[in-house]
Amino acid sequence: MRKKIYSYLGFATKSGNLMCGFNTCTAAMRRGRAKLLLVAEDISENTGEKIIREAEKTRTVWRKCLDMKSLSEITGEDNAGIFAVTDDNFAKVILTEIDGEQAPEQEV
């Protein structure tokens, strides 16, 4: 599943539907452009709390996923740990993959 997340993030980057950085993502959330906020799992605690608080205030869906190194490699950004997906379709499929990956395995 992780490969699918990488692919979707790559497509979102190439199509211009992925923003990165604290200030850029905060502005996108306040304008209602951000459909999904992605926060790296290893981002500093203070920064993570601030951006998540802003996401909750603006009612933006957010998830913690991957680490800064992986996210930076996928998107071509250096040391970036906060990303906003601005396309509804990309946001839905990425969210589905993240939630599917984090869900506990169910016995059949």
Give all domains of the chain, ordered by start, each with its CATH number.
2-101 (3.30.1330.30)
Whole-number Å distance between alpha carbons of 36 and 82: 11
Whether the per-residue pLDDT at 18 is higher than 90: the answer is: yes
Tokens of 89: 């379709």
pTM: 0.85
Q: How many CB atoms lie within 10 A of CB 41?
A: 13
Q: pLDDT value at position 61?
A: 96
Strands 61-64 and 36-39: parallel
Band (79; pLDDT cuts 50, 70, 90): confident
Whole-number Å distance between alpha carbons of 56 and 5: 23
Band (2; pLDDT cuts 50, 70, 90): confident
Mean pLDDT for all residues in the chain: 88
Q: pLDDT digits over 37-58, tens only?
A: 999 999 999 999 999 999 999 9
- E-strand stretches of the chain: 18-20, 36-39, 61-64, 82-85
Strand, helix or coil for residue 66:
coil
List helix spans (H) across the chain: 2-14, 22-31, 45-57, 68-75, 88-102
Whole-number Å distance between alpha carbons of 37 and 17: 12
Q: pLDDT value at position 106?
A: 45
Whether the per-residue pLDDT at 103 is higher than 60: the answer is: no
